Structure 1
C-alpha cells in the first residue's frame, strides 16, 4: 500500500474553536471530489459499520453473510460488496490506496492444462474437465499506465478554498475577505494557520464526518 499523502492549510478562528476554511491544492481537491464516485459498498467497507447511522451496514452484512447456495451460479457477491472503482481513481492520492486494494482479484488456472484461466474456482476446464482451482495472482497495471497525462479532475494552476462544510471554490483575496466578514471576524490576531496532512486514517475520518456533519474540517482536525 502506498504512503501517498496530501495536505491543506487550515485557517482557524481560535476564539470560536472552528475552522473557517482551508487552502488546498489540486491533489486534495481531486480526492474530495472523487469521494462522490465511490460506490456505497466501498464507503461502508472503509468505515466502521457499527459507527454508521442508518441501515445500509445491515444490508451490506446481510449479503456478506449470505450462503453461496442462494446466489445465482453466474453471479458473485464480491461484485456488489467490492465493486471495481473507476480507473480514474488510480491517479488520485488516497483513493489510489483503496482502488489498488479493490483491484486485487483472485484468479485460478487449470493444474492439468495451460491456457485456461477463471475467476471462479468452481469452473471446469473445457479441455480436461478438471476444476480450474490452482490459485494465480492478478497484478494490476501501474497507475501511470491508466492515468491521464495530468490525472485527477481539476486543474493545478490555482489554489482552492475548502469550507468547513466541504464547499469547494477557487481561492481569491476577495473570497477570503468575504468569509472573514461573514463570520464577523474583528481580531485578525485570533486567526491561526495550521497545515494538516491527510493520510489514509485522516481520509477515512473525513469521509465519515462528511456523512454526519456540516463542520467536517473542524470535527476532523481541530
Structure 2
C-alpha cells in the first residue's frame, strides 16, 4: 500500500491560454490565499533561509546579510540570543500564521519563555533560551505559558481573509474576490475574450510548489506560469527588480529627523566614477542593517514594484489590519526584542508583554506557569500572582533591563560593509589594505566621504537590498555627489 502524505495540499483551477502556454487566471480557495498572503508577513531572514534550503537560490543583498550574521564570531554579538534572533527571525504575525493550513515559517514552534534557577526571586523571563538573567544565571528552563482564550478562534473566518470562499489570482499575482464581472473584465484586458481558446487544469499545490512560487515572485513577471505551469528555473528568467531598482526609481523624501535616528558612516569612494567601494561604520549602523533581516516582506517591497508590489497591494486591500486602527498602519512593527538603542521611526517595536507567574498546586506540573490574565481566579489564588519582567535578551546580565534597548553587536567596535552588504568586523590596518588590493586600486585614487543616513536613505537601502547586488550605490549614489570629501 502506498504511503499517504500528510502534507497539506490546495487545489488550484488554472485557466490557461493553450496557444501561449500561459496562465491567464487561477481560482483559489481562501486557505490558499491565506498562505499566499502569509508571504508578506515573513521576515526577510526567514525567506532567505527558505529559499536557500528549498531552492538553492539567493535574494539581492539579504542573503549576504544573513551569511554575515552566520559567519560573524559569537564574540562580536552582545549575547548568544542576538545571533539566534537574526538567523531565525520572528514576526508579530507568528501567532496568526500558526492557524494557517500550511505554515511556511520553519522557526514557528510556538511562544516559549525561559527562566533561571532562581526565578522565584528574580521574577524575570526571556523569549530565548540561554539569555543572561540579571542575577548572572542562564535562563535555560522553559516555563509554561497558559494560553489565553482570546487567541482561540473558530474556522468561520480565515487568517488574513474572511467571509469568502473563492478568489481569482492573475499571473502577476493580483488577488481579487471572485466575481463574473471581474473575470470578464480581466479576460478582455488580457486579450482572451474568446474563451474557446482557453483550457482548464486542476493542480494540487503543496510545499514544493509554494517554495517555487516564492522564488519566482522575485524573479519573474509571470510567477504562476513559470512556477506552476512551466516549472521554470529562475536562471532562465529576467530579474525584473534589477530593471526597476535603478537610482532614479528610488524615492527621495524629506522627513524631520532627530539625532537619535541619524547614522554617520565613512564611505570609501573611487574617484574615477564616484562608486562606493565599501563603508566603515560603528555598531549602530550594523544593528540597523542586521535588523533588516527581521523586517517582513510587506515593508521591503513597494506597491509599484512588479509582482511583489501586486501581492502587497492585494494584501493591504483584502485584509483587515488592526495596526491601521492603532495608527501604526504605515510602520513596520517588530517583536519587542528587536528594539535597539538607535532606530528609525518607520521600524518600531512592540512593547514587551506583561505576564504574571503563579505556582502550580499539582506536583505533576512544573513549579511555575505564566499567564497574561491576572483575574482568572479559578486557576489560582490572587495572592499568589506576581508580575514578571520579560527582559531584553540582547542585554548582558550585568546591564540588567534596558528600556531603551541594546544593540545586536558589541559596543565600541568598527565594521566594514561592502556594496553588496557583506559585513565584517574591522580588525586593523590590514583591513583597508585588503580592500584596496581586492579592487586593484591605489590609495591616491580613493576619497573618504562622511555620510549621514536618515530615514529616507534607510528605506531606499532596505528596498535596494531586495532587488540589486549593489545596495549601497543604488541607495546612496545621490549623497556621494552632494558630499565633499573628508578633510585630512
Indicate the TM-score class for this superposition, using the shorter chain for normalisation. Answer: 0.7 to 0.9
Q: What is the match of residue 26 of structure 2? A: 22
Superposition deviation, residue 32 in structure 1: 1.6
CA distance in 2, matches of 1:5, 1:132: 39
Superposition deviation, residue 192 in structure 1: 1.4
1:116-127, aligned counterparts within 5 Å?
A: 119-121=128-130, 123=132
Superposition deviation, residue 102 in structure 1: 2.9
Q: What is the match of residue 217 of structure 2? A: 210
CA distance in 1, matches of 2:150, 2:210: 25
Which of the residues 177, 191, 194 maps onto 2:198? 191
Return the index of the structure with the highest Cα Rg.
2
Q: Secondary structure of the equivalent of 2:26?
A: strand
Q: What is the match of residue 89 of structure 1? A: 97
Q: Secondary structure of the equivalent of 1:72?
A: coil
CA distance in 1, matches of 2:196, 2:142: 57
Q: What is the match of residue 374 of structure 2? A: none
Matching of residue 6 in structure 1 with residue 14 in structure 2: no
Q: Secondary structure of the equivalent of 2:45?
A: helix
Q: What is the match of residue 34 of structure 1? A: 38
Which of the residues 144, 159, 166 maps onto 1:159? 166
Superposition deviation, residue 197 in structure 1: 2.1
Report the TM-score when normalising by structure 1: 0.78
Which of the residues 153, 159, 162 maps onto 1:148? 153
Superposition deviation, residue 106 in structure 1: 8.8
Unaligned stretches of 5+ residues in structure 1: none
RMSD (CA atoms): 3.4
Which of the residues 69, 72, 78 maps onto 1:63? 69
Write the deviation string for residues 13-60 of structure 1: whole angstroms up to 9, x where unpaired: 111110001111111111122211111111111102852242210110
CA distance in 2, matches of 1:174, 1:124: 61
The 3 A distance-change label for structure 1 pair 131 and 188 is: closer
Q: Once structures 1 and 2 are overlaid, which stretch shifts more, 194-203 or 71-80?
A: 71-80
Superposition deviation, residue 68 in structure 1: 0.7
The 3 A distance-change label for structure 1 pair 215 and 131 is: closer
The answer to whether the 8 Å contact 1:88/1:147 transfers is no
Q: Once structures 1 and 2 are overlaid, which stretch shifts more, 13-22 or 115-124?
A: 115-124
Q: Once structures 1 and 2 are overlaid, which stretch shifts more, 66-75 or 5-14?
A: 66-75
Between the two proteins, the alignment pairs up a number of residues equal to: 213
Superposition deviation, residue 132 in structure 1: 6.2
CA distance in 2, matches of 1:12, 1:89: 31
The answer to whether the 8 Å contact 1:209/1:216 transfers is yes
The answer to whether the 8 Å contact 2:34/2:161 transfers is yes
CA distance in 1, matches of 2:47, 2:118: 39
Superposition deviation, residue 145 in structure 1: 8.4
The 3 A distance-change label for structure 1 pair 173 and 186 is: closer
CA distance in 1, matches of 2:110, 2:73: 23
Superposition deviation, residue 69 in structure 1: 0.4
Q: What is the match of residue 79 of structure 1? A: 85
CA distance in 2, matches of 1:47, 1:3: 19
